Structure 1
Amino acid sequence: MNPIRFVRTTLLALGLASFSTLAQSGPDAATPLRIGEINSYKAIPAFLEPYKMGWQLAQEQINARGGVLGRPVEVLWRDDNGSPGESIRAAQDLMTREGAEVLFGGFLSHTGLALTDFARQRKVFFLAAEPLTDKITWQNGNRYTFRLRPSTWMHVAALAPEAIKLNKKRWAIVYPNYEYGQSAVTTFKRMMQGAQPDIEFVAEQAVPLGKIDAGAVVQALDDARPDAIFNVLFAADLTRFVREGNTRGLFEGREVVSVLSGEPEYIDPLGTETPEGWIVTGYPWYAIETPSNRAFVEAYQARFNDYPRVGSVVGYASLMSLAAGIEKAGSTDTEALIEAFRGLQLDSPYGPIEYRSLDHQATMGVYVGKTAQRDGKGVMVDFHYIDGADLQPSDEQVRQLRTAAP
């Protein structure tokens, strides 16, 4: 055989063999694993700026240990401006133009539900990081969507026993008038009436999100002369409500049970205006001495020269969950990921969590305590942790809620 022809033939054969090997082995190890993230960064900066820092820390730690399946993780994020339509457009762009292999994110309930439906229609894996609406894992749940953060039901279920212990008859309620607030109030009423049939709800103020008329709301609540108040407001609405309530003496001699108000995102801006003795859910990062939380706090402070918020934990644990799920699945194939996430267990700053096979809800729990002031700052005291596995309705109730779910 002609020596030159022999060399060419040999090189061609070797090249074809190499190409065949690469084609069979899937993405090259150097090819980034592209993960799409969508959130309302401009609309809710107090929560979502720390949230982004959380997943950035996770991304750096994951890549420092070699990535996922030998591939470096690249998070491609988009801002949806708090709009469900923008959420869908961002998801489409990330999947079709940017080549994202899985999606995570969401904060507001309505944007989270839009992304949940997108995942169902497009058969794409979606991890809902933050939206609290129960519908994501129950009525509107689907096989493609999992959720990390405790749901609205779970937050209210953590507070209801404390509210029942107060044994107050006349309750007033104030909440943001959209799915999350409405759902929280419905669940609270049901739980309270089940334990205390003679309870009365003497006032109810539904507030447009981000547009509270604090003076009018406080006056209406005060006029009803309640024994106790159930509050679901957060962010700037909460700050205005507390300030006006302090000025008018609304909280004097009254118990207040308040969802989310112990979270650093919302209690820190109150400073010296922080009410004393409210029963709240939150994240007292400075006083939780578990090894997982201490390691997270130290790494976060070293990286950002700042302290973590709840958003930081959610962002961090979301990306760590995806990394663990993809490693378990051995790929980003949607069906393989679904099977990997059912029963997936991992550690988090809150402690061990598991994604339930029944409804795809993680068992991340809730810290319950009371508000106080220390050195001019709002803090949580007398707190305890409730595992998310203990904050669920019965399996039969969950199955009924998911009956119509695709």
Structure 2
Amino acid sequence: MTLMRRTFLGAMTALPLALTAPAQAQETIVLGEVNSYTRLPAFTEPYKKGWQLAVEEINAAGGVLGKQLEVVSRDDTGDPATAIRIAEELISKEGAVLIFGTFLSNIGLAVADFAQQKQVLFLASEPLSDAIVWSKGNKYTYRLRPSTHMQAAMLAEEAAKLDAVKWATVAPNYAYGQDAVKAFKSELTKLRPDVEFVEEQWPPVFKIDAGSTVRALEAAKPDAIYNVTFGGDLAKFVREGSLRYLFEDRAVVSLLSGEPEYLQPLGDETPDGWIVTGYPPEQIDTESHKAFSAAYEAKFGELPKTGSIVGYNSVLAIAAALEKAGSTETDALLAAMEGLQVSDSPTGPFMFRAADHQSTMGAYVGKTALVDGMPTMVDWTYADGADYLPSEEEAAKLRPAE
């Protein structure tokens, strides 16, 4: 039995007898969940399996506050207006006590604004835009996944060790890509004031013209490339760049490209030696991760992916907040979220900072490789998210006044 299961079982034995009576046991705590399932299935489907596993384990261990958790999940189809309408229905019609989820940054920001207007807690599980916790942060929104700034800073630390001076960047032209390039430039120039950026390519998200993008990067003759493309755009970029020898004797630092969702589809086209953030599930041997991975594989017949971790940790955080609050009331949940500690997650302990509502959940940094014909990460380390954030005092200044 995992520590998480023991914790919830122990909590249940301490509850008054009345809370375990059959009639009360039928009551549930409804959590509203929104995500782009049909638009981005490669990431959101593993994410859904992750939160489903966490709910199942928590309920099997007795639930939270004497009640079972119930997730009512909806597909926003990648449209912000649809996401807002769904969030409203989850609160007003389904009785959800909070909202969690979303993937695309524009949808995360839209739901964050909804949460502020409706005064309901929103845990942004996956969106990476820094605006969610900084320039457009609000009292009601917290973010779980390590941010764009955090992961860019992790990569900049590795990039600074290279001999490269002239850099080119390629990133999708929307909030996430813009934030990722800005953060990488800022962090790398702090560590290496001698570097210069000689070319920027901004393809539209999911619509990259890989040929023209590669030709433009090639013409700039950079020493190294910082890549932020993902999904289908990444596959096209890798294929075209390899055909034109863009990556020959040239370092590439690539955000998210070590995540199984994006790495595995590259197959035997996987580039060798790219420095990436990602997740190597088959190689992590901590007790908490092994328990999670074994349970996930037993239930779904596959290894977990990055989305699986995000979904699982989302529900662990929500359960911890409910337990700490001792209530489903929004004010109590908001108070509980400030400085909330989650001690037994598959990726290790993390907390939510009071100053900017960002979690300190980290990421894995390593290199891409083909091992026995399978795309994977090698030479990786776990980077604690707390080490790549500005101080809470500095972060508080980045947020609008409440």
Match of 2:222 in 1: 226
Alignment deviations for residues 9-57 of structure 1 (CA, whole Å, 9 cap, x no partner) = xxxxxxxxxxxxx9xxxx9442221110000111111000000000110
Which of the numbers 275, 279, 303 marks the counterpart of 2:275?
A: 279
| Structure whose alpha-carbon radius of gyration is higher | 1
Which of the numbers 204, 211, 216 marks the counterpart of 2:212?
A: 216
- Structure 2 CA distance for aligned equivalents of residues 325 and 374 of structure 1: 41
- The CA deviation at 1:224 is 1.1
Report the 3-state secondary structure (helix = DSSP H, G, I; strand = E; otherwise coil) of the residue aligned with 2:202: strand
Sequence identity percentage: 58
The answer to whether the 8 Å contact 1:141/1:405 transfers is: no
- The CA deviation at 1:138 is 1.1
- Structure 2 CA distance for aligned equivalents of residues 368 and 375 of structure 1: 21
- The CA deviation at 1:213 is 0.8
The answer to whether the 8 Å contact 1:31/1:71 transfers is: yes
- The CA deviation at 1:292 is 1.0
* 5+ long unaligned stretches in structure 2: 1-17
Report the 3-state secondary structure (helix = DSSP H, G, I; strand = E; otherwise coil) of the residue aligned with 2:364: strand
Which of the numbers 224, 241, 252 marks the counterpart of 1:245?
A: 241
Residues 1:200 and 2:206 aligned together = no
- The CA deviation at 1:197 is 2.8
Match of 1:98 in 2: 94
Match of 2:7 in 1: none
Code of the aligned partner of 1:240: K
CA RMSD of aligned residues (A): 1.4
Match of 1:189 in 2: 185
- Structure 2 CA distance for aligned equivalents of residues 296 and 51 of structure 1: 14
Match of 1:5 in 2: none
Residues 1:143 and 2:136 aligned together = no
Match of 1:67 in 2: 63
Moved over 4 A (4+): none
Alignment deviations for residues 298-326 of structure 1 (CA, whole Å, 9 cap, x no partner) = 00000101110000000011011111110
Query: TM (normalized to structure 1)?
Result: 0.92
The answer to whether the 8 Å contact 1:39/1:107 transfers is: yes
Report the 3-state secondary structure (helix = DSSP H, G, I; strand = E; otherwise coil) of the residue aligned with 2:360: coil
Code of the aligned partner of 2:261: E
Code of the aligned partner of 1:123: Q
Which of the numbers 357, 371, 375 marks the counterpart of 1:374?
A: 371
The answer to whether the 8 Å contact 1:52/1:315 transfers is: yes
Q: What is the aligned residue count? A: 381
Larger displacement relative to structure 2 (79-88 or 392-401): 392-401
- Structure 2 CA distance for aligned equivalents of residues 368 and 178 of structure 1: 24
- Structure 1 CA distance for aligned equivalents of residues 24 and 101 of structure 2: 27
Match of 1:44 in 2: 40
The answer to whether the 8 Å contact 1:281/1:367 transfers is: yes
Report the 3-state secondary structure (helix = DSSP H, G, I; strand = E; otherwise coil) of the residue aligned with 1:37: strand
Report the 3-state secondary structure (helix = DSSP H, G, I; strand = E; otherwise coil) of the residue aligned with 2:226: strand
Match of 1:310 in 2: 306
Residues 1:77 and 2:73 aligned together = yes
Residues 1:365 and 2:362 aligned together = yes
The answer to whether the 8 Å contact 2:123/2:141 transfers is: yes
Match of 1:9 in 2: none
- Structure 2 CA distance for aligned equivalents of residues 281 and 267 of structure 1: 11
Match of 1:109 in 2: 105
- The CA deviation at 1:236 is 0.8
Which of the numbers 112, 118, 122 marks the counterpart of 1:122?
A: 118
- The CA deviation at 1:72 is 1.3
- The CA deviation at 1:167 is 3.0
